[in-house]
Structures are given as C-alpha cells and as structure tokens.
C-alpha cells in the first residue's frame, strides 16, 4: 500500500511528465538525485534589453512604484509578503530597491533590483555582474493577485526606469531545473547568455562559468557567510 508521501511523489511525477515531457522530467530527477549527495546547481544567466510595451500599463485599481524604507518595514510585518528584517537590512544597506505594485495600500507584487554584487543562496556565494546592468532578483506575487500579469508589468516598468537612468538592461538567473520560471522569463523577453555550474563537495565550492557568462562579467565567488564580512567585501 502506498504511503501519502509516495502518492504525492507519484502525482508530482505525472504532472511533470505532462507539463515538461520525458526528457526534462528525467533531467529534474537527475538533479534531485545528485543533490542527495552534494549541493549541485546550474544557474542560467539571462538578460533583458527591450521594454515590452504590452506590459507597461498598471491595472485599474493598482499603483506602481519603488517603495521607501518605512513602507518596506511596514510590509515586512506581514509574513505573507516574504520580507524578513535581516533581508531588508542587508538589501537596503547596499542600496537595493524594491519595485512594487499595490492594491488599496496592500502589497500585491514586487521585485528587487541591485547595482551591487549580491549574495545568493547558499549565502557563501556572491554574484557579480557587469555594471552596465541592474541585477533583478526576489520577485513575488501574492496568490490573490495572480493572473493579472503583475510580474511582467513590474519588471518592464522597472526596466524602463533604469534604462532612462542609462543602464543597458536587467540581468538575472534562474536555476536550470526551475522549468516553469525559465519558461516565464523567456516569454517575458529574457535571453540566456550562459550558465554557472556550482558544486559543493568536501567543504569546498567548485565554480565554473561558461564563455557567455565570462563575456558578460557574470560570475560567482565564495565569501564569508556573515553579513559584516559581505559589507567589508563590497567596500
């Protein structure tokens, strides 16, 4: 008799086969198996150069713009917004900005933007990128506001603003096994320029950048994991 976890795993497998096909589903399983023994990630580096005019208008009843620190601190009090205090302290200290879409004063969707090297997960890794670009990360849409294309609207409006400030575009990454996010970003207009391979084995990180990432200055480096060390590294 199958247990509940086994039933959930089988349902997930059937869903992956329906949505992604056999080859991609086998790829997902391979990544999961490897990560049972060692941390292994493949990051697809991508950039967005062109504003999509179809995703610039803010939906009726919503407002769009960058949030101030007091606003962010207030929204962080609601755990559903996925903005904890430690994250805000680090992001705001390095000048990162949050572009958000609000509904009746409540947070509906947001994405973060940085001009500085940024810590990713695991926190011992720091992402560096070409200063022509703005790094986009940590996007979220509240469940009750999904289906209105708030995510692409926020990104396109932020891209338009940064390009007016002289930036070439946005740069981001998606993990290779996150097939739904990859599809979403490609539909939005992102283009993949390379990959970073990450392997943590025997207490050490092995990092490999493909030629496209090296060309774009998109790379990871290992740093101490405490926030104070990150600040010193940036200075």
Residues 20 and 92 in one domain: no
Residues 126 and 176 in one domain: yes
- Output the tens digit of pLDDT for each of the chain's 235 residues: 456 665 676 666 566 656 666 767 787 778 888 888 999 999 999 999 999 999 999 999 999 999 999 999 999 999 999 999 999 999 999 999 999 999 999 999 999 999 999 999 999 999 999 999 999 999 999 999 999 999 999 999 999 999 999 999 999 999 999 988 999 999 999 999 999 999 998 889 999 999 999 999 999 999 976 544 333 332 2
Residues 68 and 8 in one domain: no
CATH number, residue 195: 3.40.630.30
3-class secondary-structure state, position 103:
strand
Residues 27 and 96 in one domain: no
Element (H, E) at 232: helix 227-234
Say how many Å lie between the first and final Cα of the chain, rounded: 59
- Please check whether residue 101 is in contact with residue 109, taking contact to mean a CB–CB distance below 8 angstroms: yes
Residues 178 and 94 in one domain: yes
- Please tell me the distance from the alpha carbon of residue 176 to that of residue 210, in angstroms, as a whole number: 14
What's the domain count of the chain?
2
Residues 136 and 193 in one domain: yes
Cα-based distances in Å from 109 to 50, 53, 54, 154, 222: 21, 19, 18, 8, 31
Residues 186 and 204 in one domain: yes
Half-sphere exposure for 187 (CA within 13 Å, toward CB): 12
For 137, the domain range is: 40-234
Residues 223 and 188 in one domain: yes
Residues 89 and 8 in one domain: no
């Amino acid at each position: 008799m199958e247990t509940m976890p086994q039933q959930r795993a089988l349902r997930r497998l059937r869903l992956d086969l329906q949505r992604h096909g056999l080859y991609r589903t086998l790829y997902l399983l391979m990544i999961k198996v490897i990560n049972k023994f060692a941390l292994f990630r493949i990051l697809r580096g991508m950039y967005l150069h062109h504003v999509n005019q179809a995703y610039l208008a803010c939906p009726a009843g919503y407002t769009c713009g960058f949030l101030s620190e007091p606003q962010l601190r207030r929204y962080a009090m609601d755990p559903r917004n996925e903005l904890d205090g430690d994250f805000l302290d680090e992001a705001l200290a390095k000048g990162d900005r949050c572009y958000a879409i609000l509904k009746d004063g409540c947070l509906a969707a947001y994405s973060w933007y940085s001009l500085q090297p940024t810590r990713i997960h695991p926190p011992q890794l720091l992402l560096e990128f070409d200063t022509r670009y703005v790094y986009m990360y940590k996007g979220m849409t509240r469940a009750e506001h999904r289906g209105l294309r708030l995510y692409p609207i926020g990104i396109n409006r932020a891209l338009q603003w940064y390009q007016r400030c002289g930036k070439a575009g946005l740069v981001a990454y998606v993990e290779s096994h996150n097939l739904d996010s990859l599809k979403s970003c490609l539909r939005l207009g992102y283009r993949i320029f390379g990959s970073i391979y990450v392997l943590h084995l025997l207490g050490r990180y092995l990092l490999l950048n493909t030629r496209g990432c090296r060309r774009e200055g998109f790379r990871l480096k290992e740093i101490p994991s405490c926030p104070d060390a990150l600040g010193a590294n940036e200075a």
